[in-house]
Amino acid sequence: MIRANSSIKLNMAKIGELTGAAITALEQTAEALHTEVVQAQVVPRDTGNLQNESMFLDTSESKNGKVTLVHSTPYARRLYFHPEYNFKKDENPSARGKWFEDWEPGGKNADFAPNAFKKFYRRLADL
């Protein structure tokens, strides 16, 4: 009978550092997505309120792994879920309903968020 003993020492300081880097990378990824959506000119725009003043990043739950890109206007949901509307294209030539669709799974930019997170996390964690 062979016996073996082992002990593991966790480097809690490094684990905390990596956790902090992940939180910051998540927030930076969401901000990059916000910028990407605005630059793609897909949000319907009349006065600019829906895209600018009323579109913001909520990071209150980032420590739990959740960030949210929020539209705070009461009409945002109606515009988002009705792509059949005839959106003005003066300000944003690609304006449409479901403007986040390109960045969702299966969309043409679905790899944007995972790649951005990876880039930010590697830089922040010195990996």
Task: Write out pLDDT tens, residues 20-46.
Answer: 999 999 999 999 999 999 999 999 887
Q: Angle at Cα 71 formed by Cα 43 and Cα 101, nearest 5°?
A: 50
Q: Is residue 83 part of a domain?
A: yes
Number of domains composing the chain:
1
88-102 pLDDT tens trace: 888 899 999 999 999
Calpha distance 108→8 (Å, rounded): 44
Domain contains 49: yes
Nearest CA among 84, 82, 99 for reference residue 45: 99
pTM of the full predicted structure?
0.87
Dihedral class, residue 73 (left if φ above 0, else alpha if ψ from -120 to 50, else beta): beta
Q: Within a domain: residue 64?
A: yes
Domain housing 92: 43-124
